[in-house]
Amino acid sequence: MTRYAKIIGTGSALPAKALSNGDMVALLATKGIETSDEWIVERTGIRNRHFIEDGQYASDLAFAACESALGAAACKIADIDLIIVATSTPDMVFPSTATILQRKLSEAAVARGEPSGAGSAAFDVQAVCSGFIYGLTVADAMIKVGSARRALVVGAEVFSRILDFNDRTTCVLFGDGAGAVVLEACEHEGQGPGILSTDIHADGKYTPILCVPGWVAGGQVTGDPTLKMDGQAVFKLAVGVLEDAAKTALARAGMSTQDIDWLIPHQANIRIMQGTARKLKLPLSKVVVTVDQHGNTSAASIPLALDHAVKQGQVQPGQTLLLEGVGGGFTWGAVVVRM
């Protein structure tokens, strides 16, 4: 018998504030910057995104997504012994957003008369848009070696806080949100549910093409704390590395693209998603697309899209999914999972 980490529940959360492309056009017009709904849709496929309100943080979105995922899994926070939060926009420098999330989930449980979830391992993963793939990989490894029985893996981002609204090439792309999954250890001899394989990579020489070159020093922000991106360079690199990671993960699972029911890619840009599907010879009908509704929510985009597909009835038990992401660092990776 082989030990697997299977997904037993999914959840997601979006801020109440939704902005259409028309809203973004109006916002940028106040800064003397011209753009249009047609320009945004043609280049990105994005039509809407959500921005968080003042006084809300990544942990608030993560909390809502986790409560939903725990409910879907029929679990309580006291059943969880590992929390991993993938985020590039943490609540504070430290402690980790994962520990803040753990406190909020535990307090909510106690208020309902349930046991506290305090004591579980909790930490953040910073791999930008690949963060959820990295988080799944780490949780899968810990479950396989017996260090955890059940895990919450969360992607939560508030990118609206790090956007330069004088740069139309980046500020129209991103949104805020969170997605979560509950993983549980199970054992079987093949053909059952669980994470079948993973493949993650990084190459730091590409740091300049996608970064936020600011930091805290002496009690002040030094450098530029807003997102910078070379869109053309990112596009060219992304399609190639995603193809390689996908093929490697499939090979490790003893599968080919013909075995995949759904491709759930990082929702960065419809052109990157279409390009990756073509490289893998997958029809677009097998690609889960939510970038039009949410924009690029970085580490939250894959679990958001997964939860959407589950709730819409697209993803069914027994189906095989290929999840893949690419982000600043440069980081990238893929996960093959059977539901």
Enumerate the active-site residues: 129, 266, 296
Cα 308 to Cα 12, 31, 227, 314, distances in angstroms: 8, 35, 27, 9
**Token pair of 239 as six digits:** 């399609």
Residue 44, phi then psi, degrees to nearest 5: -130, -25
Q: How far apart are CA 334 and CA 133, in angstroms?
A: 6
Q: How far apart are CA 324 and CA 305, in angstroms?
A: 12
Do 180 and 131 touch, CB atoms closer than 8 A? no
* Residue 187 parent element (H or E): strand 176-188
Decide: helix, strand or coil at residue 151.
strand
Give 332's strand partners. 201, 326
SS (H, E, C) 224-262: CCCCEECHHHHHHHHHHHHHHHHHHHHHHCCCCHHHCCE
Do 334 and 198 touch, CB atoms closer than 8 A? yes
Do 38 and 44 touch, CB atoms closer than 8 A? no
Do 297 and 157 touch, CB atoms closer than 8 A? yes
Give every CB contact of residue 41 below 8 A, 6+ residues apart in sequence: 21, 47
Alpha helices in 90-130 (DSSP H): 97-111
